[in-house]
Amino acid sequence: MKNDESMEIRIINAREADTKRIAFFYEALIQKMSDHPFRPKWIKGVYPSYYDIREICLNEAFFLAIQKDTILGAVAVVKGGDQNHKHVPWKIKAMPEEISTLHLLAVAPEMQRQGIGYLLVKSAENLCRQQGCKVIRLDTLPESVPGNRLYQKCGFTLVATDTRFYESVGSIDFNYYELQL
């Protein structure tokens, strides 16, 4: 039997030209997961917004898991610390240029539980090592059981939990994880 390379899942670095299809990927995911117990608290058109996605693409910080030309998953790997994380009592001390922060990790609902999230996180980890980072940090929802399991499986340590307030959605609880590189 011939190996069909078109069925291979690849991780690619998104470009500005990918902005529209990435925005569509998140909008479809938000819609498909609206009644799911582990749904993200993202709001179509608010977060992630087209502008947010475009900015991350312009900074060459969006990575996509694709098969053929279909986006199966995505993650943003942003260099530096997150402003919303300044209060977190991180265990690993690092300068901002030694920190990468993961944002917007998502896998299409029909493709979940197939290792795509793990592949994206491990690809991000390898990239961060190559860039000389000491640590990767992120936040996630405590009720996102699959996400919390994934980060722990990938070696991340839960450092803290707290609640933040957003005008658009109200109070949201967060878990904060970090991974020493």
Domains of the chain (ranges, CATH numbers): 5-180 (3.40.630.30)
Does residue 3 carry a pLDDT above 70? no
β-pair type (99-107, 135-140): parallel
Query: Nearest to residue 134, comparing CAs of 97, 168, 107?
Result: 97
State yes or no: pLDDT of 5 exceeds 80.
no
Query: CA 176, 178, 181: angle at the middle one, nearest 5?
Result: 170
Distance, CA of 57 to chain centre: 13
| Rounded alpha-carbon distances, angstroms, from residue 59 to 13, 14, 82, 106, 141 | 10, 10, 15, 19, 26
SS3 call for 98: helix
Greatest CA separation found in the chain? 56
Note whether 138 and 103 are within 8 A (CB): yes
The tens digit of pLDDT for each residue in 92-108 reads: 999 999 999 999 999 99
pLDDT digits (tens, 9 = 90+) for 162-181: 998 888 778 889 999 999 99
Q: What's the whole-model pTM score? A: 0.89
Residues 124-149 have a mean pLDDT of 95
- If you average pLDDT over residues 73-101, what whole number do you get? 94
What does R_g of the chain's alpha carbons equal in angstroms? 16
DSSP result, 34-51:
TT-TT----BTTTBT-HH
147 has pLDDT over 60: yes
Whole-number pLDDT of residue 6: 57
pLDDT over threshold 90, residue 45: no
Dihedrals φ, ψ of 64, to 5°?
-120, 140
Q: How far, in Å, CA of 126 to CA of 136, rounded?
A: 11
Residue 135 tokens read as 């640590």
pLDDT computed for residue 4 by the predictor? 52
Q: Which two tokens stand for residue 30?
A: 């938000």
